[in-house]
Structure 1
Amino acid sequence: MPPATTLKRAGALTAVVAGALLFISCSSTPPPQVTTPPAPPPETSVQPPLRGVWLTTVNHLDWPPADSASISDTALRIRVQQQSLIARLEQLKSLGINTVFFQVKPDGSALWASKILPWSELMTGHLGRDPGFDPLRFILDEAHKRGIKVHAWFNPYRVTVNTLPATIAAMSATRGQSPSSVYLQHPEWIRTAAGRFVLDPGIPAVRDWITSIVTEVTDNYPVDGVQFDDYFYTESSGAVLDDNQTFWQYGQAFDSKPAWRRHNTQLLIEQVSRAIRQHKPEIVFGISPAGIWRNRSQDPAGSDTRGAATYDESYADTRLWVQQGLLDYIAPQLYWPFGREVARYDVLARWWADVVKPTRTRLYIGVALYKVGNPSASEPDWGTEGGVAELKKQLDLNEQLPQVSGTILFRAANLDQPQTREAVSYLRSRWGQ
């Protein structure tokens, strides 16, 4: 959206419009239906389906290898980390994966040469220590060599994964470094929620800071896309985000904190979308939210489901962002099987297909590879035929729905697990080269 300008001759009109917008934004009820633009013209070139995987770095889940950070020989550590990443890319290429969503900002640190964030401790075991190579630059070079695209995946608000004394000491030890931890630079931005240190999304300067981090990457690296995950407002029942003071300072125009929180998330998405399109319009911007926008019991426009809704839990109006054209793609995490009645895969896939249908936003579906081969009492389908039967049904539906432009698997390390062996063989036969 273009920035607002002030024109004296339009003062009266501006006041009327502002009043109307204020009335809408103050409502704690769902926003009115947004008139969607007409269906876009047919694509001039046919793009192959996206076949993606999330490569998670937080807690060493997918990369870098957990024991590599403790290797004292710098050259050996670099070789181990780089070779493990090359091996992963070779595996992905053999499976027909054409896009990697690489977690470059797992918390308040970076896996690229940033002037805003300290180097991630994931690489060396020490926050702020230069790992001796640039992981983002390395994966871009190696992935592009193999015909694989790379989207830079950001967790916007998380600062740490815990609040332990050792974590605080590690951030405090960056004092005097450039850059130091945001925990030291801006303690007034820091809150706790769900057992983590997080940034307060209601502070305008925080949203500016996050936007500057994104543009630092898009301005300096040939990434193919930018993605935010579903961590916007993240709380747990026993560890809520205390933003009462921020609400008092910035939210007095709203009649409820939920409405104000959704407004804050909306502003972040608008700001980042605008920045990417102004700086590097060839780079696509997407969100990967939890799969349920709202349940039909909460909103007649919602899905026929009975699960946690991003609109109410994360204060993210993901459907509205699609309708407003703020996103190039949306990748909802549909981590349930066809047989899970509270949130059926097919029900949600068709619901999202209807949402994107009149828009230019592409739809990629996130699939729960981490559940494959691990049946549970509530989701036994994942264990049938090694999970292949369920996986096949989901991929078949994705290909049958014309609005679905691809599939993303969560997550890379699950390709190596014994319980997914049959499913990986199936993927290789279906997608592989």
Structure 2
Amino acid sequence: MRPDNMEFIIARSLLKTRVFPYATLTAMALLLASCASKPPKSLVTPFPTATKPPLVTQPAQPAQSTSEVRGVWLATVSRLDWPPPSSVYASNRIQQQQAALIATLDKLKSLGVNTVFFQVKPDGTALWSSKILPWSDMLTGTIGNDPGYDPLQFMLDEAHKRGMKVHAWFNPYRVSTNTKPATTAALNRTLSLHPASVFVLHRDWIRTAGDRYVLDPGIPAARDWITSIVAEVVSHYPVDGVQFDDYFYAEAPGQLLNDNQTFREYGQGFSNKADWRRHNTQQLIEQVSRTIKQLKPGVAFGVSPAGVWRNISHDPAGSATSGAAAYDEAYADTRRWVQQGLLDYIAPQLYWPFARQAARYDVLANWWANVVKPTHTRLYIGIALYKVGEPARNEPDWMVQGGVPELKKQLDLNQSVPEINGTILFRENYLNQPQTQQAVSYLKTRWGNNPVE
């Protein structure tokens, strides 16, 4: 963001989003999170780890507990894990949704899970009582309909009652999961709501990419708006952490994000769009990190990026892999965020077995361990529960003995490397599928019978 017009952008953004009750709080948070860092030069990342002083002073004590994290992602987008699709139009909808969440937490507790990463912003809607976003249609079938209870508060109450932590999981830029005429019409119908969808309030921020409506990450006011959403949750709910997933610049072949005009408007000083895009992602992470620490220093901030930062073929600091890289595909310099102390934790998605040569689990786990080693950033590894028990030509190990040997190897490695502080399973509903039951029994023996605080 340009420092000379920051206050104007904040004021304009707040007026358009009708966040009057939160204007003072949000403006203060954004001002404290001033993001006037200089454009980076286009250079191959140095190796070994750069010794440049961090942008943010690392806290003497990490924001989160030092105990091992045994986590699960609980997705609400498309009702993948919760709420049950059958509950949405039921006469006793609230009771069904709350009972399902209680049953889920009870099962997770019995498996030894101690942290739930709960998707509170699956798109441009909210699963909490927001003054910025309309209620999620995942709850009632209609965007903006009050569900009659606050799912985030309910989750926090029930999880904390069981001694489990909750991280509010945000998809920062996604506005919708598709661009179908019915979706567009539903978004347009929110114009009369308070709050309405960002789709109608800030149509100039909206782009299409990967067959979705998304926000353009290059627009400073859009990044301010995302920061205000995080500030609202952190200020008003006792969340233990905040997590962004890997959807920053999320494109697909033939479905690229058209940000040429945005680049012309805001890309001064950059010789190419790729560096400018990484700068934009950096700005978001910087200002969200600083905002959280100003509001509630004890709330942990983390990101769960794609598992490969860069391949060694493109960068000597990269991993010995040949997979899609977050740096080049999502324009997210995740290694830099760790080095600069912007994150309390990072949770790379290492969704491959030991035998997958293009992206070996052990190669990547150890590479990330070396990245966090000289920092205070904690490392949690995301593993592919969704692949367990599923036939795959390139990854047959997931089928051997119900996937238990592969799962055991991954958990053993995580526990043996001092820099790895936990594991997160993707995702909750796969704990209930027939093909994973041998692995679930193993988890119950390993985690459930050996709980950690």
TM-score normalized by structure 1? 0.92
Question: Shift of residue 173 of structure 1?
Answer: 1.1
State how far apart, in whole Å, the 1-side matches of 2:391 and 2:351 are.
13
Amino acid at match of 2:74: L
Question: Shift of residue 236 of structure 1?
Answer: 0.6
Question: Shift of residue 70 of structure 1?
Answer: 1.6
Q: Deviations over 1:96-148 (max 9, x none)?
A: 00000000000000000000000000000000000000000000000000001
Specify which of 22, 44, 54 is matched with residue 30 of structure 1.
44
SS in 2 for 1:174: helix
Show the counterpart of 1:348: 364
Show the counterpart of 1:171: 187
State how far apart, in whole Å, the 2-side matches of 1:377 and 1:359 are.
38
Gaps of 5+ in 2: 5-36
Contact in 1 for aligned 2:208/2:255 (Cα 8 Å): yes
Show the counterpart of 1:196: 212
Contact in 2 for aligned 1:34/1:320 (Cα 8 Å): no
Show the counterpart of 1:208: 224
Question: Shift of residue 34 of structure 1?
Answer: 2.6
Q: Deviations over 1:36-70 (max 9, x none)?
A: 67999899x98321000000000000000012112
State how far apart, in whole Å, the 2-side matches of 1:220 and 1:57 are.
21
State how far apart, in whole Å, the 2-side matches of 1:198 and 1:385 are.
41
State how far apart, in whole Å, the 2-side matches of 1:416 and 1:180 are.
36
Show the counterpart of 1:61: 80
Show the counterpart of 1:218: 234
State how far apart, in whole Å, the 2-side matches of 1:347 and 1:249 are.
41
State how far apart, in whole Å, the 1-side matches of 2:44 and 2:343 are.
20
State how far apart, in whole Å, the 1-side matches of 2:140 and 2:65 are.
43
Show the counterpart of 1:377: 393
State how far apart, in whole Å, the 2-side matches of 1:89 and 1:47 are.
22
Amino acid at match of 2:76: T
Question: Shift of residue 318 of structure 1?
Answer: 0.1
Show the counterpart of 2:30: none
SS in 2 for 1:352: helix
Question: Shift of residue 179 of structure 1?
Answer: 0.2
Contact in 1 for aligned 2:45/2:317 (Cα 8 Å): no
- 1:125-140 correspondence to structure 2 within 5 Å: 125-140=141-156
SS in 2 for 1:384: helix
Contact in 2 for aligned 1:93/1:146 (Cα 8 Å): yes
State how far apart, in whole Å, the 2-side matches of 1:382 and 1:149 are.
29
State how far apart, in whole Å, the 2-side matches of 1:29 and 1:411 are.
37
Count residues with an aligned counterpart. Answer: 410
Contact in 2 for aligned 1:37/1:359 (Cα 8 Å): no
RMSD value, Cα: 1.9
Show the counterpart of 2:7: none
Specify which of 379, 382, 387 is matched with residue 363 of structure 1.
379
Show the counterpart of 2:300: 284
- 1:256-275 correspondence to structure 2 within 5 Å: 256-275=272-291
Question: Shift of residue 375 of structure 1?
Answer: 2.6
Q: Deviations over 1:392-427 (max 9, x none)?
A: 000000000000000000000000000000000000
Contact in 2 for aligned 1:52/1:97 (Cα 8 Å): yes
State how far apart, in whole Å, the 2-side matches of 1:272 and 1:42 are.
19
Contact in 2 for aligned 1:104/1:154 (Cα 8 Å): yes
Specify which of 68, 85, 91 is matched with residue 49 of structure 1.
68
State how far apart, in whole Å, the 1-side matches of 2:65 and 2:99 are.
34
State how far apart, in whole Å, the 2-side matches of 1:164 and 1:237 are.
19
Amino acid at match of 1:50: V
SS in 2 for 1:175: helix
Contact in 1 for aligned 2:131/2:195 (Cα 8 Å): yes
- 1:77-156 correspondence to structure 2 within 5 Å: 77-156=93-172
SS in 1 for 2:302: strand
State how far apart, in whole Å, the 2-side matches of 1:300 and 1:361 are.
22
State how far apart, in whole Å, the 2-side matches of 1:346 and 1:250 are.
40
SS in 2 for 1:102: strand
Cα 1:278–1:303, aligned 2, differ >3 Å: closer, same or farther? same
Show the counterpart of 2:319: 303
Gaps of 5+ in 1: 5-20
Matched, 1:335 2:351: yes
State how far apart, in whole Å, the 1-side matches of 2:306 and 2:111 are.
26
Show the counterpart of 2:17: none
State how far apart, in whole Å, the 1-side matches of 2:108 and 2:209 are.
35
State how far apart, in whole Å, the 2-side matches of 1:66 and 1:29 are.
48
Cα 1:145–1:256, aligned 2, differ >3 Å: closer, same or farther? same
Question: Shift of residue 93 of structure 1?
Answer: 0.2
State how far apart, in whole Å, the 2-side matches of 1:31 and 1:260 are.
16
TM-score normalized by structure 2? 0.88
Contact in 2 for aligned 1:28/1:258 (Cα 8 Å): no
Question: Shift of residue 29 of structure 1?
Answer: 3.1
Show the counterpart of 2:27: none
State how far apart, in whole Å, the 1-side matches of 2:45 and 2:384 are.
31
Question: Shift of residue 30 of structure 1?
Answer: 3.3
Amino acid at match of 1:103: Q
Amino acid at match of 1:234: A
Asked which structure has the greater RCO (Cα within 8 Å, sep 6+), the reply is 2
The share of aligned pairs that are identical, in percent, is 67
SS in 2 for 1:389: helix
State how far apart, in whole Å, the 2-side matches of 1:350 and 1:256 are.
32
